[in-house]
Structure 1
Amino acid sequence: MTTLTIGIIGAGRIGRLHVDNLRLIPQIRIKSISDVFVTDQLKAWAEEKQIEVVTTDYHDLLNDSEIQAIFICSPTTTHATIIKEAAEAGKHIFCEKPVSFSVEETEAALAVVEKAGVKLQVGFNRRFDANFRKVHNLVKEGAIGTPHVLKITSRDPQPPGVDYIKSSGGLFMDMTIHDFDMARYIMGSEVVEVSAHGAVLVDPAIGEAGDIDTAIITLKFENGALGVIDNSRQAVYGYDQRLEIFGDKGTAQADNVRETTVELSTVERVEKEKPLYFFLERYTQAYVEEVNEFISVCLKDSEVSCSGFDGLQAERIAKAAKQSLETGVPVQLKPLVKA
């Protein structure tokens, strides 16, 4: 296979971002895009991006024999169904996280993918950030020795609207799920126990919607190491994305990304720039790299590095965190064997 024809399901912010990034790849033809709301503005945008077909029915993409792979950028509640239908139609699949809000639904979708023999990559874009990937590689190479403690800080610059909160699946499934995946990715070991504490400290409306906006989660890994994740929906100084892994031979850290690395030091103060403001700025190149990998996997018939199994494991940790928050006790995770 030397070229790949793609269909995009969902024309929101992330769907359009993927279109822009896919257009950077010469072997790609984006034939179709579907969205439940097809406006004149969407049609004009699609024409500008040289997308040939705009439709309200994603089945038009699945039934198109020319389309070899699809990107699922629709609401999470639709993911599992579309994955199963796409797999049965023989399409390779890139799906935004999470695969679903239900571990059972995700397992059922992955079983269909396995039977169909198609590729499935889950959109945990942070794995493709150069800084985090460097830390991952250092740990894998043994540069810090045996890992002991992993610390992840992940804080948004401002909370989303309450309507979004109500349909998000909750902080752990919506936001922390990236950190759960990062914990597994960096540590190279499965999580076997989760303990979570949460609070509403940013916006009372988030609590009224049944969610939390601030959390501390502790993890125990199969290799004996420990982890801690801290989340907030509002860091007034910008998008705070840091991690550190400590081992018996040293430590590796990934700091925030800033517009420049310039630091001003005077008699009055030491000053450096704030972190980049939000995820589209912070992870611009990571989004490019993840679609590049997916296209390469499809063209070369190689293995995805962020699979449906990875999506399932992150969901299982998120579910355990919610259970721990509700019960006030740690939750054990039974091991799963990767298919």
Structure 2
Amino acid sequence: MALTVGVIGAGRIGKLHVDNLRLIPQVRVKSVSDVVINHLDSWAKEKQVEVLTSDYRDILNDPEIDAVFICSPTNTHATIIKEAAVAGKHIFCEKPVSFTVEETKEALEVVEKTQVKLQVGFNRRFDPNFRKIRELVQNGTIGEPHILRITSRDPEPPSIDYIKSSGGLFMDMMIHDFDMARYIMGSEVVEVSAYGAVLVDPAIGEAGDIDTAVVTLKFANGALGVIDNSRQAVYGYDQRLEVFGSKGAARADNNRPTNVEVSTAEHVLKDKPLYFFLERYTQAYIHEVAEFVKAILHNEPVICSGFDGLQAQRIAEAAKKSLETGVPVKLEEVNPAAAI
């Protein structure tokens, strides 16, 4: 069995997926599209990509293509999902599916009608550390989960141009943590309270966003969650998670270049956390692509579905509303979940 793939969008994440797809013997990366394609000739030759095009519809119209990876800007995702589904292509789409719950629902309805597979790119689900904690929660090792704590801080903020088109911190950055909260706890979020500030760069506030946030969550199973985000942690990419339960706790710490700790009379030293998200989540990105391919070849459910993407967006919208109003927001008040 083999799978022929086209990748839409040849930026940093699109190129990463090409590299990871090429690690899978059953996969042929036939085509890559990007609105600016001229500079990619040598790269495509090196990666054995057969076709370069500036029009993604060339990929959708290719009968040899079985699946597409959508790595283009977020404002194009929903449209391409719908077109790809109608074309009968299985779909991997980077997060978020869109900037609005309504647009995401429309895209998922087309996916449901056409019965293609859709996986959303929440790569942290595939991180070995976080998967282990989910397993410990599911098998009851720590008992009934009571409190979830997620820390997610970037080493430096993105450009202001990116901030302006990102959809905001909740939709762009913390949305990973909203998905992780549902994934780890195995329960839906029912209420959100959000606090935000501009403490890193005034220009981020001038662009209409925040750079520092704390969000509290209430889950349907009664548990509570706390997420904190910052656009700048000067010591590296800070990614930690802990679940506390009735029988104990489980914690995943930062990944570091080594786990060596040096103790002397003057100090105790260990390596800083890995600095860049591509370093921190190298294995997660490889695993998510492999799992998507496996789901298609063996006709299995995807691990991160369109519904998962929808629910993370609903939480993000609730957080934004809470920040704006200063009061907790129930998810049912934002936009009821579709039966997808």
TM range (shorter): over 0.9
- 1:308 matches 2:306: yes
* Separation of aligned partners in 1, 2:165 and 2:26: 36
Match of 1:34 in 2: 33
Aligned to 1:256: 254
Partner AA of 1:294 in structure 2: F
Query: Aligned AA for 2:110?
Result: V
Q: Deviations over 1:309-338 (max 9, x none)?
A: 000000000000000000000000126475
* CA deviation string 1:260-285 (max 9, x = no partner): 00001111111111000010000001
Equivalent position SS for 2:107: helix
SS in 2 for 1:194: strand
Alpha carbons 2:105, 2:338 under 8 Å: kept: no
Partners of 2:152 and 2:276 lie apart in 1 by 11
* Structure 2 unaligned spans of 5+: none
Aligned to 2:42: 44
**What amino acid does structure 1 have at the position aligned with 2:164?**
K
Residue type at the aligned position of 1:34: S
1:41-76 Cα distance to aligned partner (Å, 9 max, x none): 301111111111100000000000000000000000
- Residue segments in structure 1 that go unaligned for 5+ positions in a row: none
TM-score normalised per structure 2: 0.98
Quickly say closer, same or farther: Cα 1:188–1:337, change in 2 above 3 A.
farther
Corresponding residue number in structure 1 for 2:89: 91
* Alignment counterpart, residue 320 of structure 2, candidates 319, 322, 325: 322
Do structure 1's residue 282 and structure 2's residue 288 form an aligned pair? no
Q: Which residue of 2 aligns with 1:60?
A: 58
DSSP-derived class of the 1:189 partner = coil
Q: Map 1:168-207; keep pairs closer than 5 Å.
A: 168-207=166-205
Aligned to 1:119: 117
In 1, Cα distance between equivalents of 2:339 and 2:113: 15
Counterpart position of 2:102: 104
Q: Alignment length, in residue pairs?
A: 337
The alignment status of 1:14 with 2:16, answered yes or no, reads no
- Give the residue type in structure 1 aligned to 2:102: E
- Following the alignment from structure 1 to structure 2, what is the Cα–Cα distance between the partners of residues 163 and 217? 25
Residue 222 of structure 2: SS of its match in structure 1?
coil
Letter in 2 for 1:22: L
Q: Offset at 1:38? A: 1.1
| Percent sequence identity over aligned pairs | 76
Q: State the distance in 1 between where 2:294 and 2:37 align.
A: 31
Code of the aligned partner of 1:75: P
Residue identity opposite 1:175 in structure 2: M
Normalized against structure 1, the TM-score is what? 0.98
Q: Quick one: distance in 2 between partners of 1:9 and 1:147?
A: 40
List structure 1 segments (4+ residues) > 6 angstroms apart after TM superposition. Answer: none
Aligned-partner residue type, residue 202 of structure 1: V
Deviations 1:291-320 (A, max 9, x none): 000000011111001000000000000000
Asked if the contact 2:7–2:33 (Cα under 8 Å) also holds between the matched residues in 1, the reply is yes
CA RMSD of aligned residues (A): 0.8
Letter in 1 for 2:314: R
Q: In the TM superposition, what are the counterparts of 1:69-88 in structure 2 within 5 Å? A: 69-88=67-86
Other-structure match for 1:5 = 4
Q: Helix, strand or coil for the counterpart of 2:162?
A: helix
